[in-house]
Amino acid sequence: MKQRSPGLEALREYTRPVPRLAVPGSHSALQILLGAREEGLEAILVATRAQFEAIYSRFPWLYTRVVLLDSWKELATRRVVSELRGLETILVPHGSLVEYVGPDNLLDLELPMLGNRFLLPIEASWEEKMRLIEEAGIPTPRRIRSPGEATGPVIVKLPGAKGGRGYRIALPGELEHVLSEIEKLGYKRDEVIIQEFLVGVRLYAHYFASPVMGRVELLGMDQRLESNIDGLARLPPGIASRLGLEPSFTVVANTPMVARESLLAKILRYGDAFAEAVERRTGYPMTGPFSLEGVVTDDLEYRVFEFSGRIVAGTNVYTGQQTPYAALYWEEPMYMGRRIARELRLAAERRQLEKIIT
Residues 133-152, one symbol each (x = binds ligand ADP by CB under 6 A, - = not), give --------x-----------
Q: How far is the CB of 253 from Mg ion (least distance, A)?
A: 14
Q: Is 27 in the site for ligand ADP (CB under 6 A)?
A: no
Type of residue found at 248: S
- Nearest distance, CB of residue 21 and Mg ion, angstroms: 25
CA distance 72 to 101: 6
Distance CA 306, CA 29 (A): 23
Q: How far apart are CA 73 and CA 77, in angstroms?
A: 8
Cis, peptide link before residue 254, omega less than 30° from 0: no
Measured from the CB atom, the residue of 224 and 342 that comes closer to ligand ADP is 224
Residue 325 interacting entry, from ligand ADP, Mg ion, none, C-beta within 5 to 8 Å by type: none
Cβ at position 201, least distance to ligand ADP in Å: 11
Strands 249-256 and 20-24 turn out to be unpaired
Residue 18 Cβ vs Mg ion, minimum distance, rounded to whole Å: 33
The mark string for 235-274 relative to Mg ion (x by CB under 5 A, - otherwise) is: ----------------------------------------
Residue 195: contacted member of Mg ion, ligand ADP, none (CB under 5 to 8 Å, by partner type): ligand ADP
Strand partners, 201: 296
Spell out the residues 6+ positions from residue 299 whose beta carbon is closer than 8 angstroms to its own.
none
Dihedral, 38, 93, 268, 284 alpha carbons, nearest 10: -120
Q: How far apart, in whole angstroms, are the C-alpha atoms of residue 203 and residue 223?
A: 6
CA-derived radius of gyration, the chain: 21
Closest CA to 77 of 52, 110, 47: 110
Is residue 90 within 8 Å of 112, Cβ to Cβ? yes
Nearer to ligand ADP among residue 63 and residue 290 (C-beta): 290
Q: Which residues contact 328 (CB under 8 A, 6 or more apart)?
A: none
CA pair distance 38, 337, nearest whole angstrom: 10
Q: How far lies 183's CA from each of 126, 169, 187, 250, 252, in Å?
A: 17, 16, 5, 20, 26
Instruction: Report the site for ligand ADP in 255-274 (rule: CB under 6 A).
Output: none
Binding to ligand ADP, residues 151-210 (CB under 6 A)? 155, 157, 161-164, 167, 195, 197-198, 202
Residue 343 CB, shortest distance to ligand ADP, in Å, is: 25
Per-position x/- string for 283-302, each x denoting binding to Mg ion as judged by CB under 5 A, each - no binding? ----------x---------
Binding residues among 274-293 for ligand ADP as defined by CB under 6 A:
293
In the bound state with ligand ADP, the residue whose beta carbon lies nearer, of 129 and 342, is 129
Count of residues of this chain found to bind ligand ADP when the rule CB under 6 A is applied = 19
Distance CA 2, CA 179 (A): 37
Question: What is the Cα–Cα distance from 210 to 347, expressed in whole angstroms?
Answer: 10
Find the distance separating the first CA and the last CA of the chain, reported in whole Å: 15
Minimum separation from the CB atom of position 306 to Mg ion (A): 5
Least distance CB 143 / ligand ADP (angstroms): 10
Which one of 39, 217, 306, 343 is in contact with ligand ADP (CB under 6 A)? 306
- Single out the residue of 37, 117, 224, 339 in contact with ligand ADP (rule: CB under 6 A): 224
- Looking at the DSSP assignment, which residues form a beta bridge with residue 89? 20
Interface pattern 230-249 for ligand ADP (x via CB under 6 A): -------------------x
**Binding-site ranges for Mg ion (CB under 5 A):** 293
**Binding-site ranges for ligand ADP (CB under 6 A):** 141, 155, 157, 161-164, 167, 195, 197-198, 202, 224, 226, 249, 293, 295, 305-306
